């Protein structure tokens, strides 16, 4: 009897030990799966099994909010600890010490950023946690939708593309990633073919799709979106790095309102040294000017939140990086398939969202780094203009240089005999409103006079219109007669 009791006690003890220990082993193996340290250029953190405190790897316990939603702390503290212990080139998002040999043109030519440097930084490199301190305390719904991550690429560098994938898988809760879809937009680089497929065999969540011809960014994203199975689709560029706990804050907003399209804050990965930094001026939101130039402007004080780490609305998204409920994306009609290569798509989708009862938000607690290139490395087929997309008919001024650019000076005149001066373009018509007429004169409606010139005195000035006078004739290289005609008819 006593011996039987002893056996029972021993057995119970073993059971308890197993219960306490086995889940950790389970979690540990899960954790191991997510570190892809078998890539050749990886820098390892210190080895050894990490200490897991208790069973609650996620830290704080879940809380039930007033709305009845259970929320929890989604931070992966083990991953954070692991990242903190890493050292080496580019670790903690530090700038790589560039030598003169690293700065050669060749390093930038193919990608528009320094691929030599990228190749020497671990695919699993650590990043600084530059979120607002409040982000560390935030809880998000325990039940979040999963997402397909869609990454279009055209001739992307090997290490920059893989670092994007690694960072996503390393810094996202696995249950929230339905899949990662890499969509190849007809690249011709060798490393993006068989080698990429072979590499991805070890990452069962990653799928590779390929376009049959060069489609441009929009149709390539659409191909990925059409194949996606996740409840949410998240678009990223092919040269990004997801930062700590980036995904739950995005998905949480969509869980609350499926018509919210959410954007992470986009940090800057330097194209020379790969240093990771926030953009200048964080309390900014997306906007555009009358020439459809996207810019970030300060959030008006009345709209600023008491807690600057809370999501805020934005009229337009920046373009490349956002998450959207998959069904809602298609209800919106996806993207206009007529959009070429690059540019303008963010307006199209943003306007549709607002017009269809949705909203657009920037999420300060979600941060993703993006390499802003030095220049665009790829060819744009047929010379399709990049920012072609919108012009406003009433902004008919005469400006110097690239007509699409904002910071320009315009022809300006104040009266029928004043000199013609150059003044900052204000886009408000008035003194800067000109009409280019069939007789090649430049008419100034405000003063009812025309631009005249004196080649000998080398000046231009306003004068009474004199049709046929050679000194009042101006030749513009390219004009659209129909548009001009319509414009001149519409404005007196």
Enumerate binding residues for ligand UDP (CB under 6 A).
152-154, 156, 185, 216-217, 220, 237-238, 320, 341-342, 373, 378
Residue 224 interaction partner, one of Mn ion, ligand UDP, none, beta carbon < 5-8 Å per kind: none
CB of 465 to ligand UDP, least distance (A): 45
Which CB, 21 or 375, lies closer to ligand UDP? 375
In angstroms, what is the minimal distance from the CB of 425 to ligand UDP?
25
How far, in Å, CA of 303 to CA of 339, rounded?
33
- Pick the closer one to ligand UDP by CB: 200 or 484: 200
CA distances from 436 to 65, 397, 441, 479 (A): 64, 10, 6, 9
Provide the token pair at 267: 């940090």
Helices (H), 58-173: 77-84, 106-109, 115-119, 158-170
Yes or no: say if 405 and 412 are a contact pair by the CB < 8 Å rule.
no
Residue closer to Mn ion (CB basis): 150 or 176: 150
Smallest separation (angstroms) from Mn ion to the CB of 411: 36
The token duo for 5 is 């009791």
Asked if residue 83 binds Mn ion (CB under 5 A), the reply is no
Query: Of 350, 339, 374, which is closest to residue 288 (Cα–Cα)?
Result: 350
Nearer to ligand UDP, 114 or 245 (CB): 114
State the Cα–Cα distance between residues 223 and 202, nearest whole angstrom: 24
Question: Which option in Mn ion, ligand UDP, none does residue 217 bind, with CB closer than 5 to 8 A by kind?
Answer: ligand UDP
Going by the DSSP 8-state scheme, the letter that residue 27 receives in this structure is H
Backbone angles phi, psi at 59, to 5 degrees: 80, -125
Residue 152 or 248 with smaller CB distance to ligand UDP: 152
Minimum CB separation from ligand UDP for residue 436, in Å?
A: 33
* Residue 91 is a binding residue for Mn ion (CB under 5 A): no
Name the minimum Å distance from CB 69 to Mn ion.
35
* Residue 219 contact, options Mn ion, ligand UDP, none, Cβ 5-8 Å cut-off depending on partner type: none
We find the least distance from the C-beta atom of residue 230 to ligand UDP, in angstroms, to be 19
Shortest reach from residue 381's CB to ligand UDP, in Å: 8
CA separation for the pair 410, 428 (Å, rounded): 11
Tokens linked to 23: 């889940």
Q: 80-110 burial string, b = 16+ CB within 10 Å, else e?
A: bebbeebebbbbebbebebeeeeeeeebbee
**Which does residue 397 touch among Mn ion, ligand UDP, none (CB within 5 to 8 A, set by kind)?**
none
CA distance 28 to 24: 6
Residue whose CB is less far from ligand UDP, 123 or 266: 266
Q: Which does 342 bind (CB under 5 to 8 A by kind): ligand UDP, Mn ion, none?
A: ligand UDP
Site for Mn ion in 232-261 (CB under 5 A): 237
Question: For 303, left (φ over 0), alpha (ψ -120 to 50), or beta?
Answer: alpha
Nearer to ligand UDP, 187 or 243 (CB): 187
Which one of Mn ion, ligand UDP, none interacts with residue 241, CB within 5 to 8 A by kind?
A: none
Q: How far is the CB of 18 from Mn ion (least distance, A)?
A: 49
Extended strands (E) in 34-125: 63-64, 70-72
- What, of Mn ion, ligand UDP, none, does residue 77 touch, CB below 5 to 8 Å by kind? none
Considering CB distances under 5 to 8 angstroms, the limit depending on partner class, which of Mn ion, ligand UDP, none binds residue 152? ligand UDP
- Is residue 210 packed enough to be buried (19+ CB in 10 Å), middle (13-18) or exposed (0-12)? middle
270 contacts Mn ion (rule: CB under 5 A):
no
List interacting residues with Mn ion (CB under 5 A): 237
């Amino acid at each position: 009897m006593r011996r039987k009791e002893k056996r029972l006690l021993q057995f119970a003890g073993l059971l308890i030990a197993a219960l306490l220990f086995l889940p950790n082993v389970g979690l540990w193996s899960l954790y191991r799966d997510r570190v892809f340290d078998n890539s050749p250029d990886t820098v390892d953190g210190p080895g050894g099994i990490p200490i897991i405190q208790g069973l609650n790897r996620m830290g704080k316990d879940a809380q039930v909010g007033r709305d009845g939603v259970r929320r929890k702390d989604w931070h992966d503290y083990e991953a954070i600890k692991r990242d903190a212990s890493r050292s080496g080139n580019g670790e903690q998002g530090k700038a790589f010490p560039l030598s003169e040999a690293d700065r050669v043109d060749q390093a930038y030519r193919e990608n528009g950023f320094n691929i030599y440097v990228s190749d020497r930084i671990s695919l699993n490199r650590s990043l600084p946690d530059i979120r607002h301190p409040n982000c560390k305390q935030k809880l998000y719904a325990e039940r979040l939708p999963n997402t397909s991550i869609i990454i279009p690429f055209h001739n992307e560098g090997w290490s920059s593309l893989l670092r994007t994938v690694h960072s996503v898988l390393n810094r996202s809760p696995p249950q929230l990633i339905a899949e990662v879809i890499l969509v190849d937009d007809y690249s011709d680089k060798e490393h993006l073919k068989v080698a990429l497929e072979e590499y991805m065999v070890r990452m069962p969540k990653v799928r590779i799709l390929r376009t049959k011809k060069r489609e441009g960014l929009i149709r390539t994203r659409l191909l990925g979106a059409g194949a996606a199975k996740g409840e949410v689709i998240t678009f990223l560029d092919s040269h990004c790095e997801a930062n700590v706990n980036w995904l739950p804050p995005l998905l949480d907003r969509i869980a609350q309102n499926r018509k919210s399209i959410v954007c992470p804050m986009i940090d800057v990965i330097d194209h020379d040294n790969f240093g990771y930094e926030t953009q200048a001026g964080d309390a900014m939101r997306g906007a555009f000017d009358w020439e459809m130039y996207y810019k970030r402007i300060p959030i008006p004080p009345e709209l600023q939140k008491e807690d600057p780490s809370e999501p805020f609305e934005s009229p337009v998204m920046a373009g490349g990086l956002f998450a959207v409920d998959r069904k809602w994306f298609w209800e919106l009609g996806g993207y206009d398939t007529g959009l070429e290569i690059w540019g303008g798509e963010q307006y199209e989708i943003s306007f549709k969202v607002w017009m269809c009862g949705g909203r657009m938000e920037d999420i300060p607690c979600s941060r993703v780094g993006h390499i802003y290139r030095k220049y665009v490395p790829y060819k744009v087929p047929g010379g399709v203009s990049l920012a072609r997309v919108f012009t406003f008919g009433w902004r008919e001024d005469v400006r110097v240089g690239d007509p699409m650019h904002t910071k320009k000076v315009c022809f300006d005149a104040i009266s029928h005999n004043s000199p013609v001066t150059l003044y900052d373009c204000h886009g408000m018509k008035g003194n800067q409103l000109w009409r280019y007429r069939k007789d090649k004169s430049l008419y100034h409606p405000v003063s009812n006079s025309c631009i005249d010139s004196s080649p000998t005195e080398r000046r231009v000035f306003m004068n009474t219109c004199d049709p046929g006078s050679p000194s009042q004739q101006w030749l513009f290289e390219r004009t659209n007669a129909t548009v001009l005609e319509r414009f001149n008819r519409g404005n007196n």
